[in-house]
Structures are given as structure tokens and as C-alpha cells.
């Protein structure tokens, strides 16, 4: 039973495309000095500079995918650095984000409250919380208070994670989701 709020962002686990999930990633540049930290499991978006930034939306988003790490040359040590998160304002001209950008990706998230069986198939907003710099993980969650049929909400609930730590109706229910509205590859307008 999930009795503790321990959100972890979006964890890619599967795809709706029918093929086996292989965690394919795309490398997308991060602007040198970009001032917002991005954590493993955060949603990211393309911007008109051809780089990726954290998508900070809650009730609507325009994600290109899920951030799962990055590479950059550390400006202090001058060493190549692979990291679970992007440290805000890092100056590195070679910075790239690793992004799972499949519009059909299925991801697991924790809700910020109890979700009943009636949440299945509905849409929800996202609670945006600063991630953990000690472990590099996101702390974003599904906003349980926003469960609705509203077609502009950013995530759709596809299922529940039933296991020793979560079940339908538990406080802080773990759910399986997909992008509902606004994925940049499905939008016919460019960035």
C-alpha cells in the first residue's frame, strides 16, 4: 500500500506502438547556460532555438518527451560528464539531453493522492515539483484532483500499478499514463 508521497516523475516502461519497448532515446542539444534544472523523469519540450527545455506546464504542456539524462563537459573540471540531471545554468557548449521522444511511450507516475478505478481512461494535470539534486530524479506527479474528461489535460491514465507498493484506491496511487494532448511530434505547427 502506497502510504507515502514519493513522486518520481515519468518512468518510461512501454509503448503503445505494438513493438517491444527498447528505451530508444534521441539526443537533443541543451543551450549552454540554460537556467532551469531538468531531472530524470521530467517532461521536456523543443524551443525555437533548436534546443530542449523543461516543460513546466501543469494543465497543458507541449512535450517532446521524457528527459532521461544528459552529457556535457563540466566547466570546472573540464571532464566529460554523464548526469542523471541537468544542473541549472551550467555553461557547456556540448550539452545534450537524452530524451525518450516516442509519442506512444507509456510511462509510470505516482499520483499526489488517492485515485479510484473511475480514473481509468480519464485525463489529468501534472504537479510540477523541483527534483532531487542528490539522486537526480524528478518529483513530478499526476494531479489527482484534476481527473476529468478535459481533452487538453496533458496525460491520460491507461492503468494502475498493482503490487506491494501500490493498488487502486491507495493513497498516492501509481498509474500508467501516456501523453494525451500537445505532444510536439503530433502537432502540425512547428516550434
**Alpha carbons 176 and 7: distance in angstroms, whole number:** 13
pLDDT per residue over 7-30, tens digit each? 999 999 998 877 777 778 999 999
Per-residue pLDDT at 45: 97
Mean pLDDT score of the chain: 93
pLDDT per residue over 142-185, tens digit each? 999 999 999 999 999 999 998 877 778 878 899 999 999 888 99
Give CA 14 to chain center in angstroms: 14
Amino acid at each position: 500500500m502506497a502510504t507515502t508521497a514519493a513522486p518520481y516523475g515519468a518512468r518510461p516502461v512501454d509503448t503503445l506502438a505494438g513493438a517491444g519497448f527498447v528505451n530508444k532515446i534521441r539526443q537533443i542539444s541543451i543551450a549552454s547556460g540554460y537556467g532551469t534544472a531538468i531531472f530524470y523523469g521530467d517532461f521536456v519540450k523543443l524551443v525555437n532555438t533548436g534546443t530542449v527545455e523543461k516543460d513546466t506546464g501543469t494543465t497543458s504542456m507541449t512535450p517532446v518527451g521524457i528527459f532521461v539524462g544528459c552529457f556535457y563537459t563540466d566547466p570546472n573540471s573540464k571532464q566529460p560528464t554523464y548526469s542523471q540531471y541537468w544542473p541549472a545554468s551550467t555553461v557547456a557548449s556540448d550539452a545534450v539531453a537524452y530524451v525518450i521522444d516516442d509519442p506512444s511511450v507509456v510511462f509510470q507516475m505516482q499520483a499526489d493522492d488517492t485515485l479510484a478505478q473511475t480514473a481509468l481512461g480519464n485525463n489529468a494535470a501534472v504537479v510540477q515539483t523541483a527534483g532531487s539534486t542528490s539522486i537526480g530524479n524528478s518529483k513530478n506527479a499526476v494531479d489527482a484532483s484534476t481527473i476529468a474528461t478535459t481533452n487538453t489535460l496533458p496525460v491520460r491514465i491507461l492503468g494502475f500499478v498493482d503490487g506491494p507498493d501500490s493498488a487502486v484506491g491507495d493513497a498516492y496511487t501509481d498509474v500508467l499514463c501516456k501523453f494525451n494532448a500537445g505532444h510536439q511530434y503530433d502537432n502540425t505547427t512547428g516550434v
